[in-house]
Structure 1
Amino acid sequence: MKVLVPVKRVIDYNVKVRVKADGSGVDLANVKMSMNPFDEIAVEAAIRLKEAGQVDEIVVVSVGVAKAQETLRTALAMGADRAILVEATDDVHTDIEPLAVAKVLKALVEEEQPGLVICGKQAIDNDMNATGQMLSALLGWSQATFASELAIEGESATVTREVDGGLQTIKVKMPAVVTVDLRLNEPRYASLPNIMKAKKKPLDTKTPSDLGVDVTPRLSVVTTTEPAARAAGVKVGSVDELVLKLKDEAGVI
Protein backbone atom coordinates (compact mmCIF):
# COMPACT_ATOMS: atom_id res chain seq x y z
CA MET A 1 0.00 0.00 0.00
CA LYS A 2 1.14 3.52 -0.79
CA VAL A 3 0.65 6.39 1.68
CA LEU A 4 0.50 10.07 0.74
CA VAL A 5 1.54 12.60 3.42
CA PRO A 6 1.03 16.35 2.84
CA VAL A 7 3.49 18.61 4.69
CA LYS A 8 3.58 22.38 5.09
CA ARG A 9 6.43 24.87 5.58
CA VAL A 10 5.59 27.15 8.52
CA ILE A 11 7.34 29.45 10.97
CA ASP A 12 9.18 27.29 13.50
CA TYR A 13 7.08 26.79 16.63
CA ASN A 14 9.90 28.12 18.82
CA VAL A 15 9.95 31.48 17.04
CA LYS A 16 8.06 34.46 18.44
CA VAL A 17 5.89 35.68 15.58
CA ARG A 18 6.07 39.40 14.74
CA VAL A 19 3.45 41.40 12.87
CA LYS A 20 4.52 43.85 10.16
CA ALA A 21 4.40 47.51 11.13
CA ASP A 22 1.67 48.21 8.56
CA GLY A 23 -0.49 45.32 9.80
CA SER A 24 -0.52 43.67 6.38
CA GLY A 25 0.65 40.31 7.70
CA VAL A 26 3.33 38.42 9.58
CA ASP A 27 6.98 39.42 9.19
CA LEU A 28 8.90 36.52 7.64
CA ALA A 29 12.23 38.31 7.14
CA ASN A 30 15.12 36.22 8.53
CA VAL A 31 12.67 33.94 10.34
CA LYS A 32 13.43 30.25 10.86
CA MET A 33 10.99 28.02 8.97
CA SER A 34 10.36 24.32 9.56
CA MET A 35 7.86 21.54 8.97
CA ASN A 36 4.46 21.96 10.59
CA PRO A 37 4.64 19.90 13.84
CA PHE A 38 1.39 18.03 13.15
CA ASP A 39 2.75 17.08 9.71
CA GLU A 40 5.92 15.70 11.34
CA ILE A 41 3.67 13.42 13.37
CA ALA A 42 1.91 12.34 10.16
CA VAL A 43 5.25 11.51 8.50
CA GLU A 44 6.30 9.52 11.57
CA ALA A 45 3.01 7.61 11.54
CA ALA A 46 3.54 6.65 7.89
CA ILE A 47 7.12 5.55 8.58
CA ARG A 48 6.01 3.35 11.47
CA LEU A 49 3.41 1.69 9.26
CA LYS A 50 6.13 1.00 6.69
CA GLU A 51 8.43 -0.41 9.37
CA ALA A 52 5.57 -2.70 10.42
CA GLY A 53 5.34 -4.01 6.84
CA GLN A 54 1.92 -2.48 6.17
CA VAL A 55 3.10 0.21 3.76
CA ASP A 56 5.32 -0.15 0.68
CA GLU A 57 5.93 3.49 -0.26
CA ILE A 58 5.61 6.90 1.39
CA VAL A 59 5.12 9.94 -0.83
CA VAL A 60 5.32 13.39 0.79
CA VAL A 61 3.75 16.43 -0.86
CA SER A 62 4.04 20.16 -0.24
CA VAL A 63 2.06 22.98 -1.86
CA GLY A 64 3.67 26.42 -1.70
CA VAL A 65 6.92 28.14 -2.56
CA ALA A 66 10.13 26.66 -4.00
CA LYS A 67 11.80 26.83 -0.57
CA ALA A 68 9.38 24.13 0.61
CA GLN A 69 11.93 21.72 -0.91
CA GLU A 70 13.79 22.03 2.40
CA THR A 71 10.73 20.78 4.26
CA LEU A 72 10.31 17.89 1.85
CA ARG A 73 13.99 16.94 2.23
CA THR A 74 13.45 16.80 5.99
CA ALA A 75 10.59 14.34 5.48
CA LEU A 76 12.77 12.30 3.11
CA ALA A 77 15.54 12.26 5.70
CA MET A 78 13.07 10.97 8.29
CA GLY A 79 12.25 8.02 6.04
CA ALA A 80 9.84 8.98 3.25
CA ASP A 81 10.64 7.49 -0.17
CA ARG A 82 10.00 10.35 -2.56
CA ALA A 83 8.56 13.84 -2.67
CA ILE A 84 6.41 16.09 -4.84
CA LEU A 85 6.54 19.87 -4.68
CA VAL A 86 3.67 21.83 -6.17
CA GLU A 87 4.96 25.38 -6.68
CA ALA A 88 1.78 27.38 -6.22
CA THR A 89 3.26 30.83 -5.53
CA ASP A 90 6.50 32.83 -5.64
CA ASP A 91 5.55 35.00 -2.65
CA VAL A 92 6.38 33.51 0.76
CA HIS A 93 3.66 35.70 2.29
CA THR A 94 0.95 34.06 0.18
CA ASP A 95 -0.76 31.25 2.08
CA ILE A 96 -2.47 28.79 -0.27
CA GLU A 97 -6.01 28.33 1.02
CA PRO A 98 -7.22 24.94 2.32
CA LEU A 99 -9.72 24.37 -0.51
CA ALA A 100 -7.04 24.99 -3.14
CA VAL A 101 -4.63 22.67 -1.32
CA ALA A 102 -7.34 20.00 -1.07
CA LYS A 103 -7.99 20.24 -4.83
CA VAL A 104 -4.27 19.91 -5.56
CA LEU A 105 -4.05 16.89 -3.26
CA LYS A 106 -7.11 15.34 -4.89
CA ALA A 107 -5.42 15.58 -8.29
CA LEU A 108 -2.24 14.01 -6.88
CA VAL A 109 -4.21 11.23 -5.18
CA GLU A 110 -5.83 10.41 -8.52
CA GLU A 111 -2.34 10.24 -10.08
CA GLU A 112 -0.59 8.33 -7.32
CA GLN A 113 -3.48 6.08 -6.20
CA PRO A 114 -2.48 5.76 -2.51
CA GLY A 115 -4.52 3.63 -0.15
CA LEU A 116 -4.23 6.13 2.69
CA VAL A 117 -3.62 9.85 3.18
CA ILE A 118 -2.20 10.88 6.55
CA CYS A 119 -1.98 14.59 7.32
CA GLY A 120 -1.64 16.87 10.31
CA LYS A 121 -4.94 18.00 11.80
CA GLN A 122 -4.02 21.65 11.15
CA ALA A 123 -1.16 24.01 10.37
CA ILE A 124 0.12 26.12 13.25
CA ASP A 125 0.24 29.29 11.14
CA ASN A 126 -3.41 29.64 10.11
CA ASP A 127 -5.06 27.01 12.36
CA MET A 128 -7.65 26.29 9.65
CA ASN A 129 -8.13 22.57 10.43
CA ALA A 130 -9.94 22.09 7.12
CA THR A 131 -7.71 20.59 4.42
CA GLY A 132 -8.07 16.94 5.49
CA GLN A 133 -11.83 17.15 5.75
CA MET A 134 -12.13 18.94 2.39
CA LEU A 135 -9.90 16.36 0.71
CA SER A 136 -12.04 13.54 2.10
CA ALA A 137 -15.19 15.20 0.74
CA LEU A 138 -13.66 15.82 -2.70
CA LEU A 139 -12.46 12.22 -2.97
CA GLY A 140 -15.55 10.65 -1.42
CA TRP A 141 -13.27 8.76 0.97
CA SER A 142 -13.75 7.83 4.62
CA GLN A 143 -12.22 10.24 7.12
CA ALA A 144 -10.97 10.01 10.68
CA THR A 145 -9.83 13.24 12.32
CA PHE A 146 -7.77 14.12 15.44
CA ALA A 147 -6.19 10.65 15.62
CA SER A 148 -4.23 9.75 18.76
CA GLU A 149 -4.00 6.06 17.78
CA LEU A 150 -3.96 4.46 14.33
CA ALA A 151 -4.00 0.79 13.35
CA ILE A 152 -4.45 -0.71 9.88
CA GLU A 153 -6.40 -3.97 9.82
CA GLY A 154 -6.90 -5.38 6.34
CA GLU A 155 -9.29 -3.16 4.41
CA SER A 156 -10.09 -0.90 7.34
CA ALA A 157 -8.36 1.45 9.78
CA THR A 158 -9.11 1.67 13.48
CA VAL A 159 -8.61 5.20 14.81
CA THR A 160 -8.85 6.56 18.33
CA ARG A 161 -9.94 10.21 18.14
CA GLU A 162 -9.49 12.99 20.67
CA VAL A 163 -12.88 14.60 21.24
CA ASP A 164 -14.25 17.06 23.80
CA GLY A 165 -15.65 14.29 25.98
CA GLY A 166 -12.48 12.16 25.96
CA LEU A 167 -11.59 9.49 23.41
CA GLN A 168 -13.64 7.92 20.64
CA THR A 169 -12.59 4.82 18.71
CA ILE A 170 -13.95 4.33 15.20
CA LYS A 171 -13.30 1.96 12.31
CA VAL A 172 -13.27 3.38 8.77
CA LYS A 173 -13.10 1.65 5.40
CA MET A 174 -10.02 2.15 3.26
CA PRO A 175 -9.07 4.19 1.30
CA ALA A 176 -9.28 6.91 3.92
CA VAL A 177 -8.00 10.31 4.98
CA VAL A 178 -6.66 10.43 8.54
CA THR A 179 -5.67 13.67 10.30
CA VAL A 180 -3.40 13.25 13.31
CA ASP A 181 -3.17 14.90 16.72
CA LEU A 182 -0.21 15.57 19.01
CA ARG A 183 -0.42 12.42 21.12
CA LEU A 184 -0.20 9.92 18.24
CA ASN A 185 3.61 9.68 18.42
CA GLU A 186 6.87 11.56 18.88
CA PRO A 187 8.60 12.18 15.54
CA ARG A 188 12.17 10.93 15.13
CA TYR A 189 15.16 13.11 14.39
CA ALA A 190 16.79 12.62 11.02
CA SER A 191 20.30 11.19 11.33
CA LEU A 192 23.19 12.71 9.40
CA PRO A 193 23.54 9.67 7.08
CA ASN A 194 19.81 9.84 6.29
CA ILE A 195 20.05 13.58 5.64
CA MET A 196 22.78 12.85 3.08
CA LYS A 197 20.75 10.03 1.52
CA ALA A 198 17.71 12.32 1.28
CA LYS A 199 19.56 14.54 -1.18
CA LYS A 200 19.52 11.68 -3.70
CA LYS A 201 15.88 10.69 -3.23
CA PRO A 202 13.45 11.73 -6.01
CA LEU A 203 11.77 15.12 -5.68
CA ASP A 204 9.43 16.03 -8.53
CA THR A 205 8.21 19.57 -9.15
CA LYS A 206 4.79 20.42 -10.53
CA THR A 207 2.56 23.46 -10.82
CA PRO A 208 -1.17 23.79 -10.07
CA SER A 209 -1.82 24.24 -13.81
CA ASP A 210 -0.17 20.85 -14.44
CA LEU A 211 -2.89 19.40 -12.24
CA GLY A 212 -5.71 21.55 -13.61
CA VAL A 213 -6.24 23.41 -10.34
CA ASP A 214 -6.85 27.14 -9.84
CA VAL A 215 -5.25 28.35 -6.61
CA THR A 216 -6.33 31.98 -6.91
CA PRO A 217 -7.09 33.23 -3.35
CA ARG A 218 -10.75 33.65 -2.42
CA LEU A 219 -9.97 35.48 0.80
CA SER A 220 -8.01 38.63 1.50
CA VAL A 221 -6.37 39.66 4.77
CA VAL A 222 -7.80 42.97 5.93
CA THR A 223 -5.46 43.49 8.86
CA THR A 224 -3.20 41.54 11.19
CA THR A 225 -2.69 42.46 14.85
CA GLU A 226 -0.78 40.97 17.73
CA PRO A 227 -2.80 39.62 20.66
CA ALA A 228 -3.34 41.98 23.57
CA ALA A 229 -0.66 41.89 26.25
CA ARG A 230 -1.60 39.82 29.26
CA ALA A 231 -2.40 41.94 32.31
CA ALA A 232 -0.18 41.55 35.36
CA GLY A 233 -1.46 39.33 38.14
CA VAL A 234 -2.12 40.39 41.74
CA LYS A 235 -1.50 38.68 45.05
CA VAL A 236 -4.34 38.24 47.50
CA GLY A 237 -4.07 37.84 51.24
CA SER A 238 -6.92 35.40 51.83
CA VAL A 239 -9.53 33.19 50.19
CA ASP A 240 -12.20 35.74 51.03
CA GLU A 241 -10.27 38.45 49.16
CA LEU A 242 -9.83 36.11 46.19
CA VAL A 243 -13.55 35.38 46.04
CA LEU A 244 -14.32 39.09 46.32
CA LYS A 245 -12.00 39.97 43.42
CA LEU A 246 -13.37 37.16 41.26
CA LYS A 247 -16.88 38.40 41.92
CA ASP A 248 -16.50 42.18 41.80
CA GLU A 249 -13.50 42.75 39.50
CA ALA A 250 -13.27 39.73 37.21
CA GLY A 251 -17.03 39.09 37.17
CA VAL A 252 -16.56 35.31 36.81
CA ILE A 253 -18.71 34.32 39.77
Structure 2
Amino acid sequence: MNIIVCVKQVPDTNEVKIDPEKGTLIREGVPSILNPDDQSALEEALRIKDENTDTKVTVLTMGPPQAEEVLIEAISMGADEGVLLCDKAFAGADTWATSNTLAKAIENIGDYDLVFCGRQAIDGDTAQVGPQIAERLGLPQVTYVKEFDIKDDKVTVKRSLEDGYETIEVEKPALFTAIEELNKPRYPYIDKIFDAYREKKIKVWSNDELQIEKSELGLDGSPTQVKRTFTPDKKKEGEMIEGSPREQAKTLLVKLKSRNVI
Protein backbone atom coordinates (compact mmCIF):
# COMPACT_ATOMS: atom_id res chain seq x y z
CA MET A 1 0.00 0.00 0.00
CA ASN A 2 1.20 3.49 -0.86
CA ILE A 3 0.17 6.49 1.23
CA ILE A 4 0.83 10.16 0.49
CA VAL A 5 0.64 12.72 3.30
CA CYS A 6 0.46 16.43 2.50
CA VAL A 7 1.98 18.62 5.21
CA LYS A 8 2.85 22.27 5.68
CA GLN A 9 5.48 24.19 7.61
CA VAL A 10 3.77 27.01 9.49
CA PRO A 11 4.91 29.79 11.83
CA ASP A 12 4.36 29.16 15.53
CA THR A 13 1.26 31.34 15.87
CA ASN A 14 1.92 31.98 19.54
CA GLU A 15 4.86 34.12 18.49
CA VAL A 16 3.67 35.69 15.23
CA LYS A 17 4.02 39.45 14.93
CA ILE A 18 2.65 41.80 12.30
CA ASP A 19 4.43 44.75 10.75
CA PRO A 20 2.23 47.73 11.78
CA GLU A 21 3.11 49.70 8.62
CA LYS A 22 2.96 46.98 5.97
CA GLY A 23 0.31 44.83 7.65
CA THR A 24 2.27 41.68 6.79
CA LEU A 25 3.54 38.84 8.96
CA ILE A 26 7.02 39.25 10.39
CA ARG A 27 8.57 35.83 9.79
CA GLU A 28 12.17 36.69 10.59
CA GLY A 29 13.13 35.11 13.88
CA VAL A 30 9.76 33.35 14.22
CA PRO A 31 10.11 29.58 14.78
CA SER A 32 8.39 27.27 12.31
CA ILE A 33 6.61 24.02 13.13
CA LEU A 34 4.87 21.13 11.43
CA ASN A 35 1.19 22.04 11.25
CA PRO A 36 -0.65 20.25 14.13
CA ASP A 37 -3.48 18.71 12.04
CA ASP A 38 -0.86 17.50 9.55
CA GLN A 39 0.94 15.75 12.39
CA SER A 40 -2.23 13.76 13.08
CA ALA A 41 -2.56 12.93 9.38
CA LEU A 42 1.04 11.71 9.32
CA GLU A 43 0.61 9.69 12.51
CA GLU A 44 -2.39 7.85 11.05
CA ALA A 45 -0.39 6.97 7.94
CA LEU A 46 2.45 5.70 10.13
CA ARG A 47 0.02 3.62 12.21
CA ILE A 48 -1.19 1.94 9.04
CA LYS A 49 2.43 1.29 8.12
CA ASP A 50 3.09 -0.23 11.56
CA GLU A 51 0.30 -2.76 10.93
CA ASN A 52 1.16 -3.39 7.27
CA THR A 53 4.86 -3.90 6.62
CA ASP A 54 4.46 -3.52 2.84
CA THR A 55 3.21 0.07 3.23
CA LYS A 56 5.20 3.05 1.94
CA VAL A 57 4.58 6.56 3.28
CA THR A 58 5.60 9.56 1.17
CA VAL A 59 5.34 13.04 2.64
CA LEU A 60 4.72 16.00 0.35
CA THR A 61 5.07 19.72 1.05
CA MET A 62 5.34 22.97 -0.87
CA GLY A 63 7.44 25.86 0.37
CA PRO A 64 10.85 27.54 0.47
CA PRO A 65 14.07 25.52 0.97
CA GLN A 66 13.71 25.60 4.77
CA ALA A 67 10.43 23.67 4.47
CA GLU A 68 12.68 20.64 4.09
CA GLU A 69 12.80 20.65 7.90
CA VAL A 70 9.25 19.29 8.20
CA LEU A 71 10.10 16.49 5.76
CA ILE A 72 13.13 15.57 7.87
CA GLU A 73 10.88 15.53 10.92
CA ALA A 74 8.38 13.30 9.12
CA ILE A 75 11.09 10.86 8.06
CA SER A 76 12.42 10.89 11.62
CA MET A 77 8.96 9.78 12.74
CA GLY A 78 8.93 6.87 10.30
CA ALA A 79 7.99 8.12 6.82
CA ASP A 80 9.92 6.56 3.94
CA GLU A 81 10.63 9.60 1.80
CA GLY A 82 9.75 13.24 1.24
CA VAL A 83 9.09 15.49 -1.73
CA LEU A 84 9.64 19.25 -1.48
CA LEU A 85 7.97 21.43 -4.11
CA CYS A 86 10.25 24.45 -4.24
CA ASP A 87 10.21 27.07 -6.97
CA LYS A 88 9.85 30.85 -7.02
CA ALA A 89 6.99 30.28 -9.44
CA PHE A 90 5.00 28.66 -6.61
CA ALA A 91 5.26 31.74 -4.36
CA GLY A 92 2.16 33.72 -3.46
CA ALA A 93 -0.20 30.80 -4.07
CA ASP A 94 -3.65 30.83 -2.51
CA THR A 95 -5.50 27.58 -1.73
CA TRP A 96 -6.62 27.20 -5.34
CA ALA A 97 -3.10 27.38 -6.79
CA THR A 98 -1.63 25.40 -3.89
CA SER A 99 -4.06 22.51 -4.36
CA ASN A 100 -3.39 22.54 -8.09
CA THR A 101 0.36 22.24 -7.52
CA LEU A 102 0.03 19.52 -4.86
CA ALA A 103 -2.43 17.54 -6.99
CA LYS A 104 -0.03 17.60 -9.93
CA ALA A 105 2.79 16.41 -7.67
CA ILE A 106 0.61 13.55 -6.38
CA GLU A 107 -0.07 12.55 -9.98
CA ASN A 108 3.69 12.58 -10.60
CA ILE A 109 4.31 10.36 -7.56
CA GLY A 110 1.56 8.03 -8.83
CA ASP A 111 0.42 4.62 -7.58
CA TYR A 112 -1.21 5.73 -4.33
CA ASP A 113 -3.99 4.16 -2.28
CA LEU A 114 -4.60 6.82 0.36
CA VAL A 115 -3.95 10.55 0.59
CA PHE A 116 -3.95 12.21 4.01
CA CYS A 117 -4.07 15.95 4.74
CA GLY A 118 -4.58 17.92 7.90
CA ARG A 119 -7.99 19.54 8.30
CA GLN A 120 -6.49 23.03 8.04
CA ALA A 121 -3.30 24.98 8.56
CA ILE A 122 -3.05 27.23 11.61
CA ASP A 123 -1.70 30.12 9.53
CA GLY A 124 -4.75 30.23 7.26
CA ASP A 125 -7.56 28.16 8.81
CA THR A 126 -9.34 27.78 5.46
CA ALA A 127 -9.69 23.95 5.43
CA GLN A 128 -9.84 24.18 1.63
CA VAL A 129 -6.66 22.58 0.30
CA GLY A 130 -7.47 18.95 1.13
CA PRO A 131 -10.94 18.98 -0.47
CA GLN A 132 -9.63 20.89 -3.48
CA ILE A 133 -6.90 18.27 -4.04
CA ALA A 134 -9.54 15.52 -3.93
CA GLU A 135 -11.67 17.36 -6.49
CA ARG A 136 -8.73 17.86 -8.83
CA LEU A 137 -7.76 14.18 -8.59
CA GLY A 138 -11.33 12.93 -8.82
CA LEU A 139 -11.05 11.13 -5.47
CA PRO A 140 -13.76 10.43 -2.92
CA GLN A 141 -13.04 12.42 0.22
CA VAL A 142 -13.94 12.44 3.91
CA THR A 143 -13.09 15.49 6.00
CA TYR A 144 -12.76 16.03 9.76
CA VAL A 145 -11.81 12.41 10.43
CA LYS A 146 -11.63 11.50 14.14
CA GLU A 147 -11.53 7.68 13.84
CA PHE A 148 -10.07 5.56 11.05
CA ASP A 149 -10.20 1.85 10.24
CA ILE A 150 -9.06 0.08 7.09
CA LYS A 151 -9.78 -3.47 5.93
CA ASP A 152 -8.74 -4.62 2.45
CA ASP A 153 -10.06 -2.04 -0.04
CA LYS A 154 -12.65 -0.48 2.27
CA VAL A 155 -12.08 2.29 4.78
CA THR A 156 -14.49 3.08 7.60
CA VAL A 157 -14.14 6.47 9.25
CA LYS A 158 -15.95 8.47 11.90
CA ARG A 159 -16.34 12.07 10.84
CA SER A 160 -16.67 14.84 13.41
CA LEU A 161 -19.62 17.23 13.12
CA GLU A 162 -20.70 20.23 15.20
CA ASP A 163 -23.51 18.24 16.83
CA GLY A 164 -22.01 14.73 16.84
CA TYR A 165 -20.44 12.50 14.22
CA GLU A 166 -21.25 10.30 11.22
CA THR A 167 -19.74 6.99 10.11
CA ILE A 168 -18.79 6.69 6.45
CA GLU A 169 -17.46 3.78 4.41
CA VAL A 170 -15.39 4.55 1.33
CA GLU A 171 -13.29 2.54 -1.13
CA LYS A 172 -9.64 3.19 -1.97
CA PRO A 173 -8.17 5.31 -3.40
CA ALA A 174 -9.52 8.19 -1.34
CA LEU A 175 -8.47 11.37 0.46
CA PHE A 176 -8.98 12.10 4.15
CA THR A 177 -8.43 15.21 6.23
CA ALA A 178 -7.48 14.60 9.86
CA ILE A 179 -8.26 16.51 13.04
CA GLU A 180 -6.06 16.50 16.15
CA GLU A 181 -8.50 14.22 18.01
CA LEU A 182 -7.71 11.39 15.58
CA ASN A 183 -4.59 10.31 17.48
CA LYS A 184 -1.55 11.40 19.44
CA PRO A 185 1.48 11.87 17.16
CA ARG A 186 4.63 10.00 18.09
CA TYR A 187 7.99 11.59 18.78
CA PRO A 188 10.80 11.30 16.22
CA TYR A 189 13.16 8.34 16.67
CA ILE A 190 16.79 9.16 17.46
CA ASP A 191 18.21 6.69 14.93
CA LYS A 192 15.83 7.87 12.21
CA ILE A 193 16.86 11.49 12.82
CA PHE A 194 20.42 10.55 11.89
CA ASP A 195 19.17 8.53 8.90
CA ALA A 196 17.06 11.46 7.69
CA TYR A 197 20.14 13.68 7.50
CA ARG A 198 22.54 11.03 6.18
CA GLU A 199 20.42 9.37 3.53
CA LYS A 200 19.05 11.01 0.39
CA LYS A 201 15.36 10.52 1.16
CA ILE A 202 14.10 13.93 0.07
CA LYS A 203 13.44 14.90 -3.54
CA VAL A 204 13.20 18.56 -4.55
CA TRP A 205 10.89 19.30 -7.48
CA SER A 206 10.52 22.60 -9.28
CA ASN A 207 7.97 23.31 -11.98
CA ASP A 208 10.38 21.69 -14.43
CA GLU A 209 9.16 18.36 -13.06
CA LEU A 210 5.49 19.34 -12.77
CA GLN A 211 5.10 21.32 -16.01
CA ILE A 212 2.16 23.42 -14.79
CA GLU A 213 1.10 26.42 -16.85
CA LYS A 214 2.28 29.67 -15.28
CA SER A 215 -1.29 30.98 -15.22
CA GLU A 216 -2.30 28.09 -12.93
CA LEU A 217 0.28 28.35 -10.16
CA GLY A 218 1.70 30.82 -7.68
CA LEU A 219 0.44 34.36 -7.56
CA ASP A 220 -0.65 34.34 -11.21
CA GLY A 221 -2.88 31.34 -10.60
CA SER A 222 -4.43 32.69 -7.40
CA PRO A 223 -7.87 34.30 -7.71
CA THR A 224 -7.78 35.12 -3.98
CA GLN A 225 -5.77 38.13 -2.90
CA VAL A 226 -5.14 39.17 0.73
CA LYS A 227 -5.77 42.89 1.00
CA ARG A 228 -4.62 43.40 4.58
CA THR A 229 -3.42 41.48 7.62
CA PHE A 230 -3.78 42.97 11.09
CA THR A 231 -3.97 42.08 14.74
CA PRO A 232 -7.31 42.78 16.46
CA ASP A 233 -7.42 45.49 19.09
CA LYS A 234 -6.91 44.23 22.60
CA LYS A 235 -10.07 43.98 24.65
CA LYS A 236 -10.35 45.37 28.15
CA GLU A 237 -9.04 42.97 30.76
CA GLY A 238 -11.61 40.98 32.69
CA GLU A 239 -12.65 41.85 36.22
CA MET A 240 -12.74 39.34 39.08
CA ILE A 241 -15.69 39.67 41.45
CA GLU A 242 -14.96 38.78 45.06
CA GLY A 243 -17.25 37.68 47.88
CA SER A 244 -19.71 34.91 48.56
CA PRO A 245 -21.79 33.45 45.69
CA ARG A 246 -24.72 35.62 46.73
CA GLU A 247 -22.58 38.75 46.90
CA GLN A 248 -20.96 37.95 43.57
CA ALA A 249 -24.35 37.50 41.92
CA LYS A 250 -25.60 40.79 43.37
CA THR A 251 -22.49 42.69 42.25
CA LEU A 252 -22.70 41.16 38.77
CA LEU A 253 -26.35 42.09 38.47
CA VAL A 254 -25.64 45.71 39.41
CA LYS A 255 -22.78 45.96 36.90
CA LEU A 256 -24.85 44.44 34.05
CA LYS A 257 -27.73 46.84 34.75
CA SER A 258 -25.38 49.84 34.86
CA ARG A 259 -24.16 48.94 31.36
CA ASN A 260 -27.70 48.34 30.06
CA VAL A 261 -26.93 44.70 29.36
CA ILE A 262 -30.08 43.71 31.23
TM-score, normalised relative to structure 2: 0.87
Aligned to 1:56: 55
Aligned to 2:244: none
1:53-96 Cα distance to aligned partner (Å, 9 max, x none): 176100001111111111111111111001111114389xx553
For 1:176-191, list aligned pairs within 5 A. 176-191=174-189
Aligned to 1:105: 102
For residues 171 and 95 of structure 1, the distance between their equivalents in structure 2, rounded to whole angstroms, comes to 37
Q: CA deviation at 1:99?
A: 1.5
- Aligned residues between the structures: 249
1:178-213 Cα distance to aligned partner (Å, 9 max, x none): 000011111111122110011214211111353133
For 1:20-31, list aligned pairs within 5 A. 20-31=19-30
Identify if the C-alpha distance between structure 1 residues 95 and 34 changes in structure 2 by more than 3 Å, giving closer, same or farther: farther
Q: In structure 2, what residue type is equivalent to 1:100?
A: A
Identify if the C-alpha distance between structure 1 residues 157 and 246 changes in structure 2 by more than 3 Å, giving closer, same or farther: farther
Identify if the C-alpha distance between structure 1 residues 144 and 131 changes in structure 2 by more than 3 Å, giving closer, same or farther: same
Unaligned runs of 5+ in 2: 242-246
For 1:87-166, list aligned pairs within 5 A. 87-89=86-88, 95-111=92-108, 112-166=110-164
- 8 Å contact kept, 2:98–2:218: no
Q: CA deviation at 1:215?
A: 1.7
Identify if the C-alpha distance between structure 1 residues 231 and 154 changes in structure 2 by more than 3 Å, giving closer, same or farther: same
For residues 27 and 232 of structure 1, the distance between their equivalents in structure 2, rounded to whole angstroms, comes to 26
Aligned to 1:224: 229
Q: In structure 1, what residue type is equivalent to 2:39?
A: E
Q: What SS is found at the alignment partner of 1:158? A: strand
Unaligned runs of 5+ in 1: none
For residues 126 and 83 of structure 2, the distance between their equivalents in structure 1, rounded to whole angstroms, comes to 23
Structure number with the higher helix fraction is 2
Aligned to 2:252: 242
Bigger radius of gyration:
2
Q: CA deviation at 1:232?
A: 1.4
Tell me the C-alpha RMSD between the 2 structures: 2.1
- 8 Å contact kept, 2:89–2:207: no
Identify if the C-alpha distance between structure 1 residues 138 and 55 changes in structure 2 by more than 3 Å, giving closer, same or farther: farther
Identity %: 30
Q: What SS is found at the alignment partner of 1:238? A: helix
- 8 Å contact kept, 2:113–2:174: yes
Q: CA deviation at 1:241?
A: 3.6
Identify if the C-alpha distance between structure 1 residues 95 and 43 changes in structure 2 by more than 3 Å, giving closer, same or farther: farther
Q: In structure 2, what residue type is equivalent to 1:78?
A: M
For residues 166 and 245 of structure 1, the distance between their equivalents in structure 2, rounded to whole angstroms, comes to 37
Q: What SS is found at the alignment partner of 2:69? A: helix
For residues 59 and 250 of structure 1, the distance between their equivalents in structure 2, rounded to whole angstroms, comes to 59
For residues 31 and 105 of structure 1, the distance between their equivalents in structure 2, rounded to whole angstroms, comes to 25
Aligned to 1:35: 34
